[in-house]
Chains A and B, each alone.
Chain A
Amino acid sequence: MFEARGLMVFYENMLALNNVSLSCGEGQIVGVFGANSAGKSTLMYTLAGIMLDIQKKEAMAGGERITIRGALSFLGRDVMQLKPAKRAEAGIVLCPERRRIFPESSVMENLRIGGYLAKPKEATETLDYVMTIFPALVKLENRLGGFLSGGEQQMLAIGRALMAQPRLLLLDEPLLGLSPAIQYWLAKSILDIRNQRGTSIIVAEQYARPIMPIIDYGYILENGSAVVEGTKEELLDNPDVKAAYFGTN
């Protein structure tokens, strides 16, 4: 359904992504794990098309020259040159790192902005769904986004991404800065979203422990390369992965 082949991204002369290929089948949850600076965010930005935008801005401001190579196909369509907004329209929706919610809009407004592309009926239906999986948001409807706690903000960010009716949801570090209990709870919610709505999901995360149980297939990024890939069981059996991400031998 979604396939990336030979993605390479250079920030000036620094290689941030080195020949990364990954694919995500219909209704699959794919995990991308890696430490800081492994290239997770670069990968997510490239998949969502934000990288094209960053590239243009840097070029205009005379900053770093960003080179992007590779191929992306989504539902049999080449999306490599599509602008981020067009990709969202096609169904690839990014829930960005650090949430990036609109701090001066209320929770309800944030969700409605997310649902801009959706048909009114879909939007109402998805809004109800978001309120069911994240019941905490119901009480906060009129609170400004900036005044939410970290966990609430993350729920809102995922909810906002869902409002855009994704076929493929890209979650960039959804567990960042959350307590372990909430991390597990949120991982379960991600699984619920897939099971109940059939959305394909790619999760980039450095906390492998809560996410690993819910994935169908996973990739380990190291210094911009996908060094290991495999199903959940294969990854859990790999001694290097265990040592690096679970701290056990």
Chain B
Amino acid sequence: MTEPTQDRRKERVDRGIKVRTDGVYAIASWREMAYLLAPRLTLIIGLLGLPIFLTAFPYWQKVVSIIGIYALLAVSFDFLAHYVGLVSLGGALYIGVGAYTSAYLNTWLGLPPLLAIPMATVLGGIICTLLMWPCLPLRGVYFAIVSLMFPLLAARLIEALDILGGTDGVLGVDGLPNRWLEQYVLLGCLLLLLFGLRRLVNEDIGLVLRGVKDNDQAVKASGINITTFKALAVFIASCLGCLGGATLAHIYMWAGISQFALDFSIIPIAATVVGGGGTLVGPVLGCLILVPISELLRDFGTLRIAVYAVILTAFIVFKSEGLMAYATRKYNQFERWVNI
């Protein structure tokens, strides 16, 4: 960055539409409508088009599903961390619970995958919330540690007690009818939940949740039971994760303890840092970058983790706002030099 001369400074100016209306969009022309729609349409068309663009590369098409699952987890992490103030390192718990629930619904009750997945989403969300309930009064690093423990505990319990299929996992889970359905179920849900959550955090309930993050004592003083609201937030977040987990079980046609692996807890956090925390869309963008990198580096084995660590460190040190926050700013504002 070059140091500007003594008597000038760089000014940031909001682009036209925001200046005139300040948030309430009075849309006056096609140009302004396009300005507002362009980023949203890019996301929707980009995500929905991804499987089609990759038709020629079946392997990468498979990766799209993995991206979708990680993106769901990352969005749920971002929601919990930046709108409720609960840093949950237990993304793997949601995946694991979702996967096992859906697998059992499918193998025991014989429900078809398309019915088992939504049921596992809600059921898994309830199970995760009940598990997390005792630690909801905890804050900050204490909640983070406890939530990190859960998936590890679950995996070891299943292994040691040889319950839920033990180390073999649950075999014979039905796959989804075809690959297109599998990807569009994931991507469609992802988009719906993304826009839904964006709406939710600006509703009354979202305001309360953000209040809990900023100052929970003030929220308590306003006569609101914060544990209920935290539980609700955890339920929403774990539903997102369980949806990913349930789909994963049907993609692999198997549920096992590797679905409690640490990867599911760590990569979403990395994606959130890269994409920009608190933007909800940022983590999806982060997953679109990080998951393919992770696939490309598969041949290098454990060096993968090293590359990850370098990327993560670089982002935290040099661009801690994240890509999405940076892009949003550039899109909404322009800069010019002005004399002081």
Contact = CB atoms under 8 A, between A and B. Distances in A.
A69 interface: yes
Interface of B: 6, 9-13, 319-322, 325-326, 329, 340
A62 B321 contact: yes
Interface string A67-86: 10100000000000000000
Interface stretch (A8-16, A22-30, A164-172): A8-16
Interface in A1-40: 8, 10, 12-13
A180 B326 CA distance: 48
Contact of A60 (B10, B11, B321, B340): B321
A67 B339 CA distance: 12
Contact of B326 (A10, A12, A62): A62
B12 A12 contact: yes
A181 interface: no
Contact of A13 (B12, B322, B325, B329): B12
A65 interface: yes
**Cβ-closest 7 pairs across A and B:** A62-B321, A67-B9, A62-B325, A60-B320, A61-B321, A61-B320, A13-B11
B12 A65 contact: yes
B6 A69 contact: yes
Contacts of B11: 13
Interface string A47-71: 0000000000000111101010100
Contacts of B329: 62
A65 B10 CA distance: 9
B326 A69 contact: no
Interface of A: 8, 10, 12-13, 60-63, 65, 67, 69
Given A12-B12, A61-B320, 8 more contacts: A13-B13, A61-B321, A62-B322, A62-B325, A63-B321, A69-B6, A69-B9, A69-B340
A67 B5 CA distance: 12
A47 B265 CA distance: 45
A13 B12 CA distance: 7
B219 to A, nearest CB: 22
Contacts of A12: 12
A10 B325 contact: no
A10 B326 CA distance: 21
A61 B318 CA distance: 9
26 contacts: A8-B340, A10-B9, A12-B12, A13-B11, A13-B12, A13-B13, A60-B320, A60-B321, A61-B320, A61-B321, A62-B319, A62-B320, A62-B321, A62-B322, A62-B325, A62-B326, A62-B329, A63-B321, A65-B10, A65-B12, A67-B9, A67-B10, A67-B340, A69-B6, A69-B9, A69-B340
A10 B8 CA distance: 12
B15 to A, nearest CB: 14
Nearest to B322: A62
Contacts of A65: 10, 12
Contacts of B325: 62
A63 to B, nearest CB: 8
A119 B9 CA distance: 42
Contacts of A67: 9-10, 340
A63 B322 CA distance: 12
Contacts of B320: 60-62
Contacts of B326: 62
A136 B9 CA distance: 49
A16 to B, nearest CB: 13
Contacts of A61: 320-321
Nearest to B325: A62
A21 B340 CA distance: 16
Contacts of B340: 8, 67, 69
Contacts of A8: 340
A137 B34 CA distance: 65
**Residue in B11, B319, B326, B340 whose Cβ sees the most chain A Cβ within 10 Å:** B340
Nearest to A59: B1
Nearest to B328: A62
